[in-house]
Amino acid sequence: MPMYMIGDLQGCHQPLLRLLEKTDFSPSRDTLYLLGDLVNRGPESLAVLRHLSSLGDAAKCLLGNHDLHLIAMSQGVRKPGRSDTSQEIMAAPDGPALLDWLRHRSMALQAQGWLMVHAGVLPQWTAAQTMALAAEVESALRGPDLAGFVQAMYGNQPDRWHDSLQGAERLRVIVNALTRMRFCSADGVMEFESTGSLRDAPMGYLPWFEVPGRKTEGQRIAFGHWSTLGAETVKTQAGLLHGTLPLDTGCVWGGCLTAARLDGRKDGGYELISVQCEQARKPG
């Protein structure tokens, strides 16, 4: 019963179809774990949501920052940006049903010894705490005041975690860590401007998975969001980075769409499978 963890789709439906064909995926036998950013910037966000929602329990999806942005647009909280391509979902006859399906997706997942998030895990959090905090956001997304939640979701402050945080500030820190973070300081202060490689860490900051003594050391973690990192790691076959596996390999930028195939091995071993993507958007 193979399991596949797949990096950011961002509306790239044709590469997904080719990847599923290459892996001989069967929804009656296999399970897909999509690591967030299912939509936006690519050409077929509507087709991606229709396909994934049709797979039922065979596709388990995380929410990324672009997915949350779409939900916020659907609530009138955010307007489309210059590079957004997911407006067709809101105009489609099945758009409301797809958006309802989307807001019922997960913020973190666990399977076969792996913790899966879209962006990162703060150094103060254990895997169990990460799952519990993700559930708090999921409850807000699925609750009656969706517009109120997404209205309060945006902002860079607070930029660090405290157990005493409550209300909108607590949820905002959780969302920012799970869907936006790349770098943070040794004591968990998040930095949101830098998007480059490991060599581009701002002064005083580290890639979140390199923070010494983080509480998820020893826990295998798969994540997306960081296309420059994932593309370089897969290209060089670098293996796990401090126990983590970056799987956003820049499909929407003309890179690859990549899956890690797991077969339940106790050592957490995996096989990387990629397909080339046809579009080559410029970041912006």
Q: Kindly report the CATH number assigned to the domain that includes residue 168.
A: 3.60.21.10
pTM: 0.94
| 3-state secondary structure (DSSP) of residue 283 | coil
Structural domains in the chain (count): 1
In a domain, 42, yes or no: yes
In a domain, 13, yes or no: yes
Could you state, in chain order, the average pLDDT of each consecutive group of 10 residues for the chain (284 residues)?
Answer: 93 97 96 98 96 98 98 94 91 97 98 97 98 98 97 97 97 98 96 87 94 96 94 75 93 94 76 84 42
In a domain, 158, yes or no: yes
Please name which of 222, 196, 203, 224 lies closest in space to residue 118, comparing C-alpha atoms: 224
The pair of structure tokens assigned to 246 is 């970056």
In a domain, 181, yes or no: yes
Residues spanned by the domain of 202: 3-276
In a domain, 283, yes or no: no
In a domain, 206, yes or no: yes
Whole-angstrom distance, CA of residue 2 vs CA of residue 178: 26
In a domain, 143, yes or no: yes
Q: How far is CA 232 from CA 38, 95, 116, 196, in A?
A: 21, 36, 20, 11
pLDDT score at 232: 82
In a domain, 284, yes or no: no
Are the C-beta atoms of 219 and 237 separated by less than 8 Å?
Answer: no
| 3-state secondary structure (DSSP) of residue 274 | strand
